[in-house]
Amino acid sequence: MPFPAELIDRMRAASRVAVLTGAGVSAESGVPTFRDAQTGLWSQYDPTALATPQAFQRNPRLVWDWYRHRRQLVESAAPNPAHYALVDMEQHYDSFTLITQNVDGLHWQAGSRNLLELHGNIARSRCFECGAYADRWSDDDNGPPPCASCGGLLRPDVVWFGEGIPSRALRSAVAAAEVADVFLCIGTSAVVQPSASLPAMALRGGAYVAEVNIEETALSVLTHCSLRGKAGELLPALMQAVTGQERRSGEVG
Ligand code: BV8
Ligand code: ZN
What would the pLDDT profile of 220-249 be if each residue is shown by its tens digit?
999 999 999 999 999 999 999 999 877 655
- Better-predicted residue by pLDDT, 36 or 13: 13
CATH code that applies to domain 40-76+124-158 = 3.30.1600.10
Taking the centre of ligand 1 as the mean of its atom positions, its distance from the CA of residue 219, in whole angstroms, is 14
Task: Specify the ligand 1 atom closest to the Cα of 36.
Answer: 60
Q: How far apart are CA 190 and CA 195, in angstroms?
A: 7
Domain assignments of the chain as residue spans, ordered by start: 5-30+78-119+165-243, 40-76+124-158
Ligand closest to the CA atom of residue 227: 1
- For 78-119, write each residue's pLDDT tens digit: 999 999 999 999 999 999 999 999 999 999 999 999 999 999
The confidence score (pLDDT) of residue 223 equals 98
SS3 per residue for 152-172:
CEEEEEECCCCCCCCHHHHHH
CATH code that applies to domain 5-30+78-119+165-243 = 3.40.50.1220
Residues catalogued as catalytic: 119
Nearest residue (CA) to ligand 1, atom 7 = 193
The confidence score (pLDDT) of residue 253 equals 42
Ligand closest to the CA atom of residue 130: 2
Buried b / exposed e across 128-142, counting CB within 10 Å, b at 16+? beeeeebeeeeeeee
- For 171-217, write each residue's pLDDT tens digit: 999 999 999 999 999 999 999 999 999 999 999 999 999 999 999 99
